[in-house]
Amino acid sequence: MVNPLIVALDLGTAEEAVRMARRVEPHVGAFKVGLGLLHGAGPGIVTALVDLGKPVFADAKLHDIPSQVGAAARRLGRLGVRWVTAHVSGGEAMLRAAVEGLADTSHGYAGLLGVTVLTSLNEADLSAAGITSTPGKLVSRMSRLADEGGCEGVVCSPQELTVVGSVAPDLIRVTPGVRPAGIAAGDQRRVMTPAEAIARGADWLVIGRPITEADDPVAAAAGLVEDLGIPG
């Protein structure tokens, strides 16, 4: 069984992120770099993590006109990333530009993940923004669009995993908003435990603070692996 844990290295500096990655590397399947480090430390953090030998997920959340997104994807593809994210709400042409940009420079290694509805949002938040769909219905439409746009997968909350599986079964499903039992949800709204998310069809689990802010991050990561029954 492939280790499905992607540790979100949302730390203050590149040095802290690399140190954390080295510590937990035996117990995770991949590393994620978010906007804070991508806009702070810059692309060098991606290269440093790629050198550790695990897949790296650049959570860039690209969202612009197709030409700009394509250019950004080309640059990210050169760094050796395994996945890059783009907001599905940017439309099919934008998604295809990102897919093509990644393919140009990664020689087919990197894939695009379409961000559907952020796990920090609920139905009331969507309504306040003028969106009348429920999160589930919106994720359903966005998953179809991601599939049509050439994405390798989507990012969705655990609560929409079965929806994605029903409308776009070929897409891999990457889910943040995963919290072990007894851990505070923080700014996440639509959450589940790791075991519940796997049972609903998640391929990859993005887990950050429950590991990186634990008193013993190595033990926290190892415990998650053990709870999921993943061979050590």
Q: Which candidate, 92, 95, 41, places its Cα nearest to that of 69?
A: 95
User: What are 149-170's pLDDT values in tens digits?
Assistant: 999 999 999 989 999 999 999 9
pLDDT at 42: 85
Q: Which CATH superfamily is domain 5-227 in?
A: Aldolase class I (3.20.20.70)
For the cut 60, the answer to whether the pLDDT of residue 183 exceeds it is no
Question: Which residue is catalytic, options 32, 54, 61, 137?
Answer: 61
Q: In this predicted structure, what is the pLDDT of residue 189? A: 53
- Whole-number Cα distances in Å, 147 to 88, 118, 159, 228: 10, 18, 19, 29
How do the domains of the chain map onto residue ranges?
5-227
Question: Is residue 137 flagged as an active site residue?
Answer: no
Q: 188 vs 108, which has greater pLDDT?
A: 108
pLDDT above 70 as % of the chain: 93
Give the pLDDT score at 231: 66
